[in-house]
Homo-oligomer: A and B are copies of this chain.
Amino acid sequence: MGTVTVQELDSVVIRFAGDSGDGMQLTGERFGNVSGILGNDIATFPDFPAEIRAPAGTTYGVSAYQVQIADYDVTTPGDTLDVLVAMNPAALKVHLPDVVRGGIVIVNTDGFTQHNLDRAGYTSNPLEDGTLQGYRVYRIPMTTLTLEAVKEVEGIGKKEAERSKNFFALGVVSWLFGRNPEVTEEWIRQKFRSSPAVMEANLKAFRAGYHYGETAEIFEAVYRVKPARLEPGLYRNITGNQAMALGLVAAAHQARLTLYYASYPITPASDLLHELARLKNFGVKTFQAEDEIAAAGAALGASYGGALGVTGTSGPGLDLKQETIGLAVMLELPLVVIDNQRGGPSTGLPTKSEQTDLLTALFGRHGEAPLPVIAAYSPAHCFWAALEAVRIALKYRTPLILLSDGYIANASEPFRIPSLDELPEIAVSFASEPNRDGEFWPYLRDPETLARPWVLPGTPGLEHRVGGLEKDERGRVSYDFANHDRMVKTRAEKVRRIARDIPPARLDADGGAELLVVSWGSTWGSVAAAVRRLRERGVRMAWTHLVHLNPLPPNLGEVVKSFPKVVVPENNLGQLLKVIRAEYLVDAKGVNSVEGRPFRASDLEEAFLEVLGERAAEGAR
């Protein structure tokens, strides 16, 4: 390796970028997975256009995948790039601004044809005109080298051969960061086992890239990121959607119920349907409905039938489901509604992420129709959030909205696989007997939880009717003034009482902290990083991250009132902020960005300092 030096880093951020058809998602995901397997902590961020395959070479057709690998527990994919792999001019144009000065830029020079330069809107070639000054640039004719490497593979035409160039790029980067090539090679063998020629081509391209790094002597240094110290256990990388799907299956298993997932496809929730549709041998029933209303209706019908009814969607679909969710409030049946929030309003930015559905989750139904709302905060947490959602919905016979978002749905991180006995108990019992003087009263409640009995149709003697009209305890339609008032208040009280049954808000506070950060959902990662960095800078910080958004943890009032300043960072215009202010009358401030992507930790750092005011900011220097 001659003069190549080895540099130790605690973390590195790499982004792979190219055309939608260049396979960057696969490459980035692969690099992340390998790094996970090799013991790093990782956080990833896929970012792709709303178009399926936007015209080649255009800036809006660029698809990118970002990975942060670290020797500590990272919580974000990183604010800025240490390494950019750009397969064409458009990718360079879009993503170069994010590379740190002095960072590494690896370009596929074959992609820099005049046509592609024009497409990207470059008037001169950035590889030659000084654009890349100040970066460490590696120019590699990846397409040529891939074709060369693949040429002896039989049954692969030139076009197909070219397609392997992402594996060449992966090979180069794998070498640069000392990623053991065998893991990826084995994976390629598995993944493409049904088309041996493609497998062969990809293997050859990958190896060629790896060896290119080793032999081309263009790199002055290679980098090493040590394994992170994670909680011992068995791990896998997991996206939020995968974790959510597994969480639902696990919850149904714990509750001994059939999982019934009804959905209408929508980005970024469709993968939940895809994941679950494959699990037929688990008895999972999936139903692709004609629209979101039908999906909610079928899930609710399934719950009525005694299954675990779940329906997943994103914002526009949530709007449509609300009337049916309101019916579920009235029927008092379990129903888990998953909302993977995306950029709104309306169709907005469908492949981007934000946190703008909290208020509609809380209040977006006519009438007084309260329900519990919880939010997942990271890809792996989706697993646990799903279990908690199911637990509450089943126990309290209530629809519940579980919020995730486009970012954590598609991003991935290592997930410590729990053993089955780490999973919560979820006990369900169905009514089998009359409950009042030989009669069955469907709205006679459990005095503790206020939940009504759940009956399996088919149970003799308990035949009864439920419906959206107001009822009395006996289940009869009632237009009585006082009954309605009481029922409205009882349904609200039932939801309020869930507060007794959830963990208190966890406060992570330095003694003497002046500023409390209150966050929820996917901002968790950026807030964690920002808080850590501020602490490193000597600022005392307090932080609480909420999973339960309705009801709020019972100690939250006390927590928010214990700090002179409270800030609520959100990727919306201040939705939790409104709730906190109304609930506790504290003058909390919002930090709000609605850019369709998570906060940069550094932006939060600055924003928190600003809230703290000069004094604190100075203290930090």
Contact of A345 among B319, B330, B341, B352 (CB under 8 A): B330
Whether the pair B572, A368 counts as a contact (CB closer than 8 A) is yes
Determine if A367 and B352 form an interchain contact, defined as CB atoms under 8 angstroms apart: no
A363 CB within 8 Å of chain B: yes
Q: Smallest CB–CB gap between A295 and chain B, Å? A: 14
> In the complex, A578→B577 CA distance in Å?
12
Q: Closest CB-CB distance, A370 to chain B, in whole Å?
A: 8
Interface residues of A in 315-361 (CB under 8 A from B): 315-316, 318-320, 322-323, 326-327, 329-330, 339, 341, 343-352, 354, 356-357, 359-360
C-alpha gap A54/B315 in the complex (Å) = 41
Q: Once the chains are docked, how many angstroms separate the CA of A525 from the CA of B31?
A: 68
Which residues of A are interface residues toward B (Cβ below 8 A)?
49-50, 60, 314-316, 318-320, 322-323, 326-327, 329-330, 339, 341, 343-352, 354, 356-357, 359-360, 362-370, 467-470, 479, 481-482, 484-485, 488-489, 491-492, 572-573, 578-579, 581-583, 585-587, 593-597
Query: Judging by beta carbons under 8 Å apart, are B368 and A345 in contact?
Result: yes
Copies in the complex: 2
Given contacts A367-B356, A489-B573, A594-B485, contact A326 B343 (CB under 8 A): no
Decide if B319 touches A365 in the complex (CB within 8 Å). Answer: yes
Q: Is the CB of A343 within 8 A of B484?
A: yes
- State whether B49 touches A479 (Cβ < 8 A): yes
Measured CB to CB, the closest approach of chain B to A387, in angstroms, equals: 25
Q: Is the CB of A352 within 8 A of B578?
A: no
Return chain B residues, CB-CB under 8 Å to A596: 479, 481, 484
Specify which chain B residues have a CB less than 8 angstroms from the CB of A468 in the assembled complex: 346-348
Contacting residues, chain B, for A593 (C-beta < 8 A): 485
> Are B366 and A360 in contact, with the CB atoms below 8 A?
yes
Of the residues B314, B364, B488, B597, contact of A360 by C-beta under 8 Å? B364
What's the nearest-Cβ distance from chain B to residue A596, in Å?
A: 5
Q: Are B360 and A346 in contact (CB under 8 A)?
A: no
Contacts of A365 in B (CB 8 A): 319, 344-345, 360, 364
In the complex, the answer to whether B327 meets A573 with C-beta atoms within 8 Å is no
Q: Give the complex CA separation of A370 and B583 in angstroms.
A: 21
Whether A488 contacts B367 in the complex (CB less than 8 A), given A322-B322, A323-B320, comes out as: no
Task: Let me know if A346 and B330 touch, CB within 8 A.
Answer: yes
Supposing A481-B596, A579-B582 touch, asked if A326 and B352 sit within 8 A by C-beta, the answer is no
